[in-house]
Amino acid sequence: MDSISTLAHNFLSMKSIAVIGISSSKQTVANGVYKKLKTPTRTVYAVGKNTTSFENEPCYPNLGSLPTLVQGVFVAAKPENTERIVDECIALHIPFVWIHHFGGTTFSSGSSAQPHVVKKCRDNGITVIPGACPMMFCDDADVGHKCIKWFLSITGKLT
């Protein structure tokens, strides 16, 4: 299996990504990741079930409503919603899913990257990153994300 750094590089090299968990009523991890990933050379779609627009762009209620198929999906959703999102990725043949987890890559009962969901991804040919945050791997990462990445690396939780 590839290292998380290799997987993160592959994900961040994609030209079309959907970010799930967008909210117009509060600041969310998904909102920050969307803003960071949106570049002139990458199409990023906002997905949020209760939001119709974000950053002056349309926000879609689910992956099936996107105008085009994406190469990857970043998920910042409640644990109880993640399996449904993965099922949608399977149905749409989306090959890469990154499931955010505030505590790094270690599973916990509150993590959206539940082991059975990660296994479902892998069993269906989906490359999955079960934890961490794309903002830790961006070339222009902020000091906070650099520190988190460093800490997780030295504690062996970022493998």
Write out pLDDT tens, residues 43-67: 999 999 989 999 999 999 999 999 9
Q: Give the global pTM.
A: 0.88
At 108 the pLDDT is: 44
Residue owning tokens 């919603």: 81
Q: Does 27 or 128 have the greater pLDDT score?
A: 128
Give yes or no for a contact between 103 and 148, defined as CB atoms under 8 angstroms apart. no
- Strand ranges for 10-155 from DSSP E: 16-20, 43-47, 53-54, 57-60, 72-75, 96-99, 127-130
Residue 109: how many other CB atoms lie within 10 Å: 6
pLDDT at 71 over 60: yes
pLDDT in tens, 87-106: 999 999 999 999 987 544 44
Which candidate, 60, 136, 49, 124, places its Cα nearest to that of 86? 124
Give yes or no for a contact between 40 and 64, defined as CB atoms under 8 angstroms apart. no
Residue owning tokens 């999906």: 73
Residue owning tokens 């803003």: 35
Please name the amino acid found at residue 2.
D
Q: How confident is the model at residue 25 (pLDDT cuts 50, 70, 90)?
A: confident
Domain ranges of the chain: 4-154
User: How is residue 63 annotated by DSSP?
Assistant: G
State which fold the 4-154 domain adopts.
Rossmann fold (3.40.50)
Q: Compute the average pLDDT of residues 122-148.
A: 87
